[in-house]
């Protein structure tokens, strides 16, 4: 029996190479080894201010980008979180067994509070409980995520333990599975790459736009002039080379930068070529899917049907264990 994987991504409007290197590329590599369930987690996305008229498009956009990136629908289940009401039902039950202090110490909550001063809603605080429900509803054992989600997963394990101790063994304690890529920094060279920071390269960025973004991306801040030797260890562009360029190119960049044989633009041109080559087939597949929305909607509907069954079973067990009459 294959172990079961669950992971999710928010329909934030754009999937960027931080998502790709930190999570999605890993998901694709796991397709044959595990039974895989992936969700577009739209209920997580409504915890920040958004336009309701745009959300449906963003959900479809996320699904299309995931399929274009390589999540073959024949090899995994892909669905939209809000289509399975049991996610929010289980979240309520986890609300009732989780101390507020556990939620308040989450670093993502603290960050989001500062980023959304005009909208610090309860959903920002209880966000990890909805994540716990996503994972535990399907009794997933393994959760491939980027390292920014590790603290949330520790809490998910704690919730599973607490529920099991109080009501009898029901849930596995899911383990995180991290990709080799650590937290990918944005084009400012500093903050985590994210849509909200507007420091991202989209996974299906058009060629011109890709170069426009790379051209002005921050490199080694101490390298002020072309003839100054640079320090690749602190340069975010060099980090990106390690994911897209060949060993020879990486050595060429490292040596050339340290000796000032090459300038930042030479280094960026090589990165541009490699990222662009990597993205080209994804962009093309995405354009095909743009013309075939019905296919994508069908994939999501099949996913909904498959997940519904499992979600119903788990909730029947949970309701019985917590003692409600249903």
Taking residue 161's Cβ as centre, other Cβ atoms within 10 Å add up to: 12
Task: Please report how close the Cβ of residue 181 comes to ligand TYM at its closest, in angstroms.
Answer: 6
Site string for ligand TYM, 92-131 (x = CB under 6 A): ---------------------------------------x
Q: State yes or no: is 287 an active-site residue.
A: no
Considering the complex, state which of residue 131 and residue 210 has its C-beta at the smaller distance from ligand TYM.
Answer: 131
Q: How far is the CB of 5 from ligand TYM (least distance, A)?
A: 9
* Integer Cα distance of 42 and 121 in angstroms: 16
Task: Report the residue number whose CB is nearest to ligand TYM.
Answer: 22
- Asked about 280 being catalytic, the answer comes back as no
Nearer to ligand TYM, 66 or 262 (CB): 66
Closest CA to 310 of 76, 134, 127: 134
Tokens of 9: 């991504």
- Contact in structure between 205 and 20 (CB atoms under 8 Å): no
Write the burial class of residue 291 (CB in 10 Å: 0-12 exposed, 13-18 middle, 19+ buried): exposed
- Give the count of beta carbons closer than 10 Å to the beta carbon of residue 40: 26
Stretch that binds ligand TYM, among 97-105, 188-196, 241-249, 271-279 (CB under 6 A): 188-196
Q: Binding of ligand TYM at residue 22 (CB under 6 A)? A: yes
Q: Is 310 exposed, middle or buried (0-12, 13-18, 19+ CB in 10 A)?
A: middle
Q: Which of 35, 42, 86, 148 binds ligand TYM (CB under 6 A)?
A: 148
Q: Which of 37, 124, 129, 184 binds ligand TYM (CB under 6 A)?
A: 184
Report residue 29: phi and psi, to 5°. Answer: -70, -20
Q: Which residues contact 27 (CB under 8 A, 6 or more apart)?
A: 5, 7, 36, 38, 71, 76, 144
Show contacts with ligand TYM in window 125-144 (CB under 6 A).
131, 134-135, 143
- Shortest distance, CB of residue 241 to ligand TYM, whole angstroms? 16
The verdict on 35 binding ligand TYM (CB under 6 A) reads: no
Confirm or reject binding of residue 10 to ligand TYM (CB under 6 A): yes
- CA angle at 147 for the pair 51 and 194, rounded to the nearest 5°: 30
Least Cβ distance, residue 255 to ligand TYM (angstroms): 27
291 included as an active-site residue: no
82 binding ligand TYM? (CB under 6 A): no
Whole-angstrom CA distances from 76 to 6, 36, 67, 105, 136 are 10, 5, 10, 34, 18
Q: Would you count residue 159 as binding ligand TYM (CB under 6 A)?
A: no
Number of residues that bind ligand TYM (CB under 6 A): 24
> Which one of 195, 213, 273, 321 is the catalytic residue?
195
Are 20 and 146 in contact, with CB atoms under 8 Å apart? no
Cα–Cα distance for residue pair 22/300, rounded to 1 Å: 24
Angstrom distance (rounded) from CA 110 to CA 168? 33
Nearer to ligand TYM, 61 or 134 (CB): 134
Q: Of 33, 51, 75, 112, which is the active-site residue?
A: 112
Q: How far is CA 69 from CA 2, 6, 111, 123, 275, in A?
A: 23, 17, 29, 30, 14
The reply to whether 80 sits near ligand TYM by the rule CB under 6 A is: no
Does 8 contact ligand TYM by CB under 6 A? yes
Binding residue (CB under 6 A) for ligand TYM from 18, 230, 232, 263: 18
Catalytic sites, residue numbers: 112, 192, 195
Residues that bind ligand TYM (CB under 6 A): 6-10, 18-19, 22-23, 41, 44, 131, 134-135, 143, 145-146, 148-149, 183-184, 192-194
């Amino acid at each position: 029996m294959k172990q079961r994987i669950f992971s999710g991504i928010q329909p934030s409007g754009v999937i960027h190479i931080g998502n790709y290197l930190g999570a999605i590329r890993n998901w694709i590599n796991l397709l044959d080894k595990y039974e895989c369930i992936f969700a577009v987690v739209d209920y997580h996305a409504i915890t920040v201010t958004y336009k309701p008229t745009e959300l449906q498009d963003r959900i479809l956009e996320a699904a299309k980008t995931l399929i274009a990136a390589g999540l073959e629908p024949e090899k995994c289940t892909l669905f939209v979180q809000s289509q399975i009401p049991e996610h929010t039902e289980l979240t309520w039950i986890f609300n009732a067994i989780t101390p507020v202090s556990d939620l308040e110490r989450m670093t993502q909550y603290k960050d989001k509070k500062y980023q959304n001063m005009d909208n610090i809603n309860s959903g920002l605080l209880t966000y990890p409980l909805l994540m716990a429900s996503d994972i535990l509803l399907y009794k997933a054992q393994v959760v491939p995520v980027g390292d920014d989600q590790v603290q949330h997963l520790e809490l998910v394990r704690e919730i599973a333990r607490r529920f099991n101790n109080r009501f009898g063994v029901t849930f596995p304690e899911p383990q995180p599975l991290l990709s080799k890529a650590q937290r990918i920094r944005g084009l400012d060279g500093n903050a985590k790459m994210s849509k909200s920071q507007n420091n991202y390269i989209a996974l299906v960025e058009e060629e011109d736009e890709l170069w426009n973004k790379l051209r002005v991306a921050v490199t080694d801040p101490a390298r002020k002039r072309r003839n100054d030797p640079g320090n690749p260890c602190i340069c975010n562009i060099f980090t990106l080379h390690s994911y897209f360029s060949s060993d020879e190119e990486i050595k060429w960049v490292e040596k050339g930068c340290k000796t000032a044989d090459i300038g930042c633009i030479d280094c960026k041109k090589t990165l541009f070529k490699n990222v662009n080559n990597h993205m080209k087939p994804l962009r093309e597949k995405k354009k095909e899917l743009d013309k075939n929305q019905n296919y994508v909607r069908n994939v999501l509907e099949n996913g909904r049907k498959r997940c519904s069954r499992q979600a119903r079973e788990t909730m029947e067990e949970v309701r019985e264990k917590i003692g409600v009459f249903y």
